[in-house]
Structure 1
Amino acid sequence: MNLMDLMPLWEATSNNVTKREPLEGDRHCDVVLIGGGFSGLSTAYHLQKEGYDTVILEKDKVGGGASGRNGGQILTGFSDSMSSILEQKGIETAKAMLDMSLDSIDLISQIIDENEISCGFHRNGHIVAAYKDSHVDKLKKEQETLKKHFDYDVDVLEKHELSNELNSPLYRGGSVDPNSAMFHPFNYAIGLADTLEGMGGTIYEKTEATNINHEASNKVVVSTPNGRVIAKEIVLVTNGYTSENLHKKIARTIIPIESIMIATEQLPEDVVSNLIKKNRACFDTKNLLYYFRRTDDNRIAFGGSGRSTSKSDENNLFNNLHKGLLDVFPELEDASIAYRWGGKVGFTREFLPYIGRLDDGTHFAYGYAGHGAAMSTLLGKVLAENIMDNDRGFSPLEKKELKTIPFYSQHAKVVNLMKYYYKVLDSIKN
């Protein structure tokens, strides 16, 4: 099964798309960026604003990877809870990370407003739906931690209160964070790309970077099938689609996990507004969780892990996800599924994003663990600041040492690989 061959709802319902030519011959610039998703587009955008000449190389098309295939949920926080991050990192770092999370949504809103990008941005918050009674208790403990240590407010709902938010028999309660948002992710990507080109930036599509060579003259040369880019700086932001052939060290620190989505046919507005009453982004507390939302054209978009047994095929994966949709919203039994698609979510060993600069000069950001719709735009800005060295502050996500995934160890056994793989799958948050 190749999930990349399935057209996402977002691409099928997008604004006009600019088709871009592949690179032919040599091109010189200040910064070459590999990857035409949110991270690369944001980095180039912020550099171009400051007069840098940027070139993006995209293997497929702008937004063709995770940036155009995600659920369009721009969430506060990270894959792990803030309580866990507080315990691991300490209060100062944890507060800085929560601030970054909130800043990321503010930045997206600012970019959309300043550049008049039409992408259905709504900041109505998100719901965490509790799958068990014990999960409600955990949400209450998280609420207490957020208030006590971060002065941050979320509302916890008992089962009878959740009906004011969700019309679903599956859940036992939940919590509401008012600061999250949603958008049409593909329209944001192509809108940011058009904005970047209007500022003088260059994007080459259908142009795969095949080799990176760091020359002694402080230049980097990126080879492609029909040309080269010669630049002063390089940014690698291919996340879960990074190959060992391109950069072995980075590739060996990323776990790419398949996530799949379905979307219903267009439904009457009163139906979708009755199911998700306040048009919030939603995800639940199951280990293999569901995430779902309303769309601006009155569909329910519904996602989950692509995990399957060895005998499962593509149809089983999507059929099981459809069953999950009906568990959450039995009223949709007669609604047809109009779209189904999938893509790769990038994880690190710490389930937190990595950003920084390697000794060979490669700038990187990846491993968003399901929160890339929010964090990737901000980390693109941080990458730009790293390159400009513009009196920037330190980012708590910056990494000096990259942690290789255990199964890349020479002596790792297949059983350990599978244990780690399923541990990751059981921890996907959205």
Structure 2
Amino acid sequence: MNSMSVWEATANERPKRPVLQGEKTCDVVIVGGGFTGLSVAYHLQQRNVETVVLEKGVVGGGASGRNGGEVLIGYVESMRSLAKKYGRAAARQMFQMSLDSIDLIERIIQEEDIACDFQRNGNLLAAYKPSHLDDLKREQQFLYEAYQFESKIVEKEDLHTELDSSFYHGAFVDERSAIFHPLNYCLGLAKAVERRGGTIYEHSQATKIERVTPDKVIVETHNGRIVAQQVGLFVNAYTTGLHDVIDRAIVPVESIVLATEPLPPALCQQLIKHNRAASDTKRLLYYFRRTADNRMVFGGSGRTASKRDARTLFDKLREGMVTVFPTLKDAKVEYKWSGKVGFTFERIPYIGQLEDGTHFAFGYAGHGAAMSTLLGKLVALNMLNEGDRHNPLDRSRLKPIPFHSQHARAVGIMKYYFKFLDYIS
């Protein structure tokens, strides 16, 4: 079994990029070569703003190249819940942003001719318990009444029209979500940045940010430094200790994923009938989808402290896959990998600019494949002083999460609690 991701194993050609050496200058220096940072660079280069991207590893080496490739509308919480928290007007704007995010990705893929197996066939959210289907029906009604957004409910007796599984009690389906090969999208976005004159340095970890004047910032690496007018930090859950305020405002949570061997096309078609993104309503959820080469990708929550723990978690994940899809009991697992998902205290993404001038966007809570490209564009607009400062996701007055240093222990406790809630709900 291979410990690399299926995306890395099936990636398009990856050019070798230089390591930063010596001093360079540009207009904007961007830390992080994932979806968000590359989107910032892409949209700035479209406006002839010279950008440099510093990536500590390789482009797409973090969550952007390791996620499940599900490009979803909405957020980790229901829109009903978000409307109660933030008001109907703010929630409406947030929902529209989630729709716009997928439109933007689709447009970039078309305009830049990015080969990433983008398929916009919608998303299926499967009800783990009968009561969860009732909640999904209430969400469907809210979305239509508040936003005129059409979706459908699939009752348990009809679920065979969507999934080859009797594990769930029905589902909510939207037709606007998508799937793609996340690493190939990331690699294509990087090439688009470079075609427009941007520079990407790999294996060039930023080690220090120094604001010299309001119009001059220096970002140092082990072998060089960038002198720029503006700086943005976009490492999400892969925090590096580079900026204490941002580091203490995000909680990394590990997700584990496996991919089967290529399956017979007829079997793969049978498993998820309409080739949708899919996940379920458990708090410790499963998410799953087909790939272009007829594999099943199946993911869930994980926290691997040792190789033995990792084996146990992946064994349990495979058991979960077979529980959902019994026809996969003999399917060989060819790839298994893990990655970090970033959560904020409010479980919504944050965007903004701190008092020291640092721009940021992070905390996608599993929805980064969709939202990160859009938030990168919005950061670029902010850097050009053309952004909307009334953005409901703006947290320019960023505050650390209380007792952040204990987050690893807290996450472990919460997972046991969520498992209990899944059992009794």
Superposed pair shares fold, TM > 0.5: yes
Answer yes or no: is 1:253 the counterpart of 2:262: no
Matched, 1:193 2:151: no
CA positional deviation for 1:417: 7.1
Q: Which moved more, 1:101-110 or 1:208-217?
A: 208-217
Give the deviation of 1:48 after TM superposition: 0.3
Aligned residue pairs: how many? Answer: 421
* Cα distance change, pair 302–414 in 1 and its aligned pair in 2 (3 A): closer
Q: Deviations over 1:346-395 (max 9, x none)?
A: 00000000100000000000000000000000000000000011264632
| 1:403 alignment partner in structure 2 | 399
Aligned partners of 1:14, 1:146: CA distance in 2, in Å? 37
* Matched letter for residue 264 of structure 1: T
How far did 1:317 drift?
1.0
- Is 1:59 paired with 2:53? no
Match of 1:159 in 2: 156
Q: 2:359 aligns with which of 343, 357, 363?
A: 363
Letter paired with 1:128: L
Aligned to 1:325: 321
- AA paired with 1:78? Y
Cα deviation per residue 1:294-350 (whole Å; 9 max; x = unaligned)?
000000000000047999611111111000000010101111001000100000000
1:362–1:393: structure 2 CA closer, same or farther, 3 Å change rule?
closer
Q: Select which of 372, 380, 385 maps to 1:376.
A: 372
* 1:194-213 alignment runs, 5 A limit: 194-213=191-210
Q: CA deviation at 1:406?
A: 2.2
- Contact kept, 8 Å, 1:406 with 1:417, in 2: the verdict is no
Map residues 152-301 of structure 1 onto 2, 5 A cutoff. 152-216=149-213, 218-244=215-241, 246-301=242-297
| One-letter amino acid of the counterpart of residue 74, structure 1 | V
| In 2: Cα distance, 1:94 partner to 1:376 partner | 18
CA contact (8 A) 2:284 2:415 kept: no
The CA RMSD over aligned residues, in Å, is 2.1
Report if the CA contact (8 A) 1:119-1:184 is conserved. Answer: yes
Alpha carbons of structure 1 residues 293 and 418: separation in structure 2 relative to 1, 3 Å:
closer
Amino acid at match of 1:327: T
Deviation at 1:426, TM superposition (A): 9.0
The one-letter amino acid paired with 1:25 is: G
Change (3 A) 1:323 1:416: closer
TM-aligned CA deviation for residue 242 of structure 1 = 1.2
Give 1:150's match in structure 2, choosing from 147, 151, 154: 147
Are residues 184 and 116 of structure 1, via their aligned partners in 2, closer, same or farther at CA, if it must alter by over 3 Å?
A: same
Q: Displacement, 1:217?
A: 5.8
Report the CA distance between 1:403 and its aligned residue.
Answer: 3.3
Aligned residue for 1:343, secondary structure, equals strand
In the alignment, is the contact (CA less than 8 A) between 1:349 and 1:403 conserved in 2? no
Q: 1:44 aligns with which of 38, 41, 45?
A: 41
Tell me the TM-score normalized by structure 2: 0.95
Q: Mark the CA change 1:194 to 1:73 in structure 2 (over 3 Å): closer, same or farther.
A: same
Report matched runs for 1:329-344 at 5 Å. 329-344=325-340
Shift of 1:402: 1.9
Q: For residue 113 of structure 1, what is the aligned residue in structure 2?
A: 110
Q: Spell out, residue by residue over 1:72-92, the C-alpha distance to the aligned partner (whole angstroms, 9 max, x if none).
A: 000000011000001001111
C-alpha separation in 1, matches of 2:261 and 2:68: 16
CA distance in 2, matches of 1:68, 1:424: 27
Where does residue 30 of structure 1 map in the other structure? 27
Residue 124 of structure 1: aligned partner: 121
Instruction: Tell me, in whole angstroms, the C-alpha distance in 1 between the residues paired with 2:364 and 2:173.
Output: 22
Paired residue secondary structure (1:239): coil
- Quote how far apart the aligned CAs of 1:216 are: 2.6
Within 2, Cα distance between the matches of 1:20 and 1:266?
Answer: 32
1:113-141 deviation line (CA, Å, top 9, x unaligned): 00100000000000001111111111111
Distance in 2, matches of 1:233 and 1:52, equals: 11
Q: Report the residue type matching 1:242 in the other structure.
A: T
Q: Aligned residue for 1:80? A: 77
Tell me if the contact between 2:128 and 2:280 (Cα under 8 Å) persists in the aligned partners: yes
Tell me the SS of whatever aligns to 1:104: helix
The 2-side partners of 1:87 and 1:187 are apart by 38
- Cα distance, 1:400 vs structure 2: 2.8
Counterpart in the other structure of 1:390: 386
The aligned residue for residue 68 of structure 2 is: 71
TM-score after normalising by structure 1: 0.94
How far the C-alpha of 1:423 sits from its partner, in A, is: 6.5
Paired amino acid for 2:50: D
Quote how far apart the aligned CAs of 1:195 are: 1.1
Cα distance in 2, alignment partners of residues 222 and 260 from structure 1: 33
C-alpha displacement at 1:243, in angstroms? 2.2
Distance 1:34 1:425, change over 3 A: farther
**Counterpart-to-counterpart distance in 1, 2:293 and 2:302:** 26
Task: Tell me the alpha carbon deviations over residues 10-53 of structure 1, each in whole angstroms, 9 at most, x when there is no partner.
Answer: 01001111111110000100000000000000000000000000
Going from structure 1 to structure 2, the CA distance change for 1:100 and 1:423 (only over 3 Å counts) comes to: farther
Alpha-carbon separation, structure 2, partners of 1:241 and 1:151: 37
Give the C-alpha shift of residue 147 in structure 1: 1.3
Alpha-carbon offset, residue 413 of structure 1: 10
Structure 2 unmatched ranges of 5 or more: none
Task: For 2:83, give the aligned amino acid.
Answer: L
Contact (CA 8 Å) 2:283, 2:418: kept in 1 or not?
A: no
